[in-house]
Each structure stands twice: as structure tokens, then as C-alpha cells.
């Protein structure tokens, strides 16, 4: 499954179903926890596939932590990428405790890290929609909106991919993209 949206400036937004740990990109985004201590889901998969080098780098950063809505960068170990951006999304409670802004902030911070490193391609998972319980449709709208706003600007990024774990998640993202609901 693959869906693409090409922007007037030639930049590309892609949706795919797959394994982010096997996705070639300059940077892969990890849905991390604020302790940067590894975990399950995307985080566990990235650490297993990338090997111990990623955790060794996180050990150097961990004392400072990473607040919700932000991200830190490490090398990618054995992953087919140069960098891993460890983004800490919000735990969803009711959507009225700043969760939308914190989720949007994760994406913006990763985009800033990408620009600072002159990255051409970046792959995102669906941040906060697994164990953190963020409703997938709401999360997809926020994620796609932030990416579309960035790709509309003058930037170094040429391609952003959402590598979605399931066909169901892909379907939600694809529907939001088809509806062109990127301006909410």
C-alpha cells in the first residue's frame, strides 16, 4: 500500500504500510518515552534492529531527559538511516490537557532537527497512537497538518514518509490525506 502527495514545490509526502526499522531514510523517528529508556512498540523495534549503539548514545542524553513534545537525536546504529530522532508524544487523556499541541510539537521538533542536519528524507511512525492511546484519526490530522505546513515552506527536506504499522492505520491516514484535511 502506497499513497503519495506531491507538493507544488516538488516535495513528496508518502504513506506506506511497513516496518520503519527497514525503511531507508536519512532519519527515522522513534516514538520514545520521556525517560529515553527504551520500551515496546516502535521504540522497542528500533532498539532491537538498531542495536546497542543507540542506547549507549541515549545514556549520555538521559540525565537531561526529553520532555513531552520534544525530541533528541542519536545515530542510527544498524538501521538503514543516519539518525534516529527520539520524539516524546503525549499520553492521551481527554484531548483537553494540551495533548494536540504537544503532539504537534513533536513533529515540529523533528522537522527542525531534520533541517539543522540538512536531511532530505525522514520517516515517521504514528506518534502516540499505540500504548499512549491517542485517537488515530485526531493524531493523523495533526501529523499530516504539521508535515504539510513544513513542506509548503522553503526547506531542505524533499520527502517525508509515514511508515504505518497496520493497514487500518494506513487507511485512517490515507482518508485524512484524500480529504485534504491538512489545514485543521
**pLDDT tens across 82-102, in order?**
999 999 999 999 999 999 999
The answer to whether residue 173 sits within a structural domain is yes
Q: Model-level pTM?
A: 0.95
User: What's the domain range around 109?
Assistant: 2-178
Beta bridge partners of 29: 85
Provide the pLDDT confidence category of residue 30 given band limits of 50, 70 and 90.
very high
Calpha distance 2→49 (Å, rounded): 23
User: What is the Cα 180 distance to its own chain's centre?
Assistant: 20
Whether the predicted pLDDT of 184 surpasses 80: no
Active-site residue 26, yes or no? Answer: no
pLDDT at site 63? 84
Predicted confidence (pLDDT) per residue in 57-76, tens digit: 999 998 888 999 999 999 99
Calpha distance 10→52 (Å, rounded): 37
Residue 131 contacts residue 92 (beta carbons within 8 Å): no
CATH of the domain at 83: 3.40.220.10
Beta bridge partners of 6: 12
Whether the predicted pLDDT of 183 surpasses 50: no
The answer to whether residue 183 sits within a structural domain is no
The answer to whether residue 184 sits within a structural domain is no
Taking alpha carbons only, the member of 88, 83, 108 closest to residue 43 is 88
pLDDT at site 65? 80
Catalytic pick from 19, 26, 43, 138?
Answer: 43
Whether the predicted pLDDT of 8 surpasses 60: yes
**Number of domains present in the structure of the chain:** 1
Residue 61 contacts residue 74 (beta carbons within 8 Å): yes
Alpha helices, DSSP H, located in 18-98: 41-50, 52-61
User: Assign residue 65 a region: left if phi > 0, alpha if psi is -120 to 50, beta otherwise?
Assistant: left
Residue 38 contacts residue 55 (beta carbons within 8 Å): yes
Amino acid at each position: 500500500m502506497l499513497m503519495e502527495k506531491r507538493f507544488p514545490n516538488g516535495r513528496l509526502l508518502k504513506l506506506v504500510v511497513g516496518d520503519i526499522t527497514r525503511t531507508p531514510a536519512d532519519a527515522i523517528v522513534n516514538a520514545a518515552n520521556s525517560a529515553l529508556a527504551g520500551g515496546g512498540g516502535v521504540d522497542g523495534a528500533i532498539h532491537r534492529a538498531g542495536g546497542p549503539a543507540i542506547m549507549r548514545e541515549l545514556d549520555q542524553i538521559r540525565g537531561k531527559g526529553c520532555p513531552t513534545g520534544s525530541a533528541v537525536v542519536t545515530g542510527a546504529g544498524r538501521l538503514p538511516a543516519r539518525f534516529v530522532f527520539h520524539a516524546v508524544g503525549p499520553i492521551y487523556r481527554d484531548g483537553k490537557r494540551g495533548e494536540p499541541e504537544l503532539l504537534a510539537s513533536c513533529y515540529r521538533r523533528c522537522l527542525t532537527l531534520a533541517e539543522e542536519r540538512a536531511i532530505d528524507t525522514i520517516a515517521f511512525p504514528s506518534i502516540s497512537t499505540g500504548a499512549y492511546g491517542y485517537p488515530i484519526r485526531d493524531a493523523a490530522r495533526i501529523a499530516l497538518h504539521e508535515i504539510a505546513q513544513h513542506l509548503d515552506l522553503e526547506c531542505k527536506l524533499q520527502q517525508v514518509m509515514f511508515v504505518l504499522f497496520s493497514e487500518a492505520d494506513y487507511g485512517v491516514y490515507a482518508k485524512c490525506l484524500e480529504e485534504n484535511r491538512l489545514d485543521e
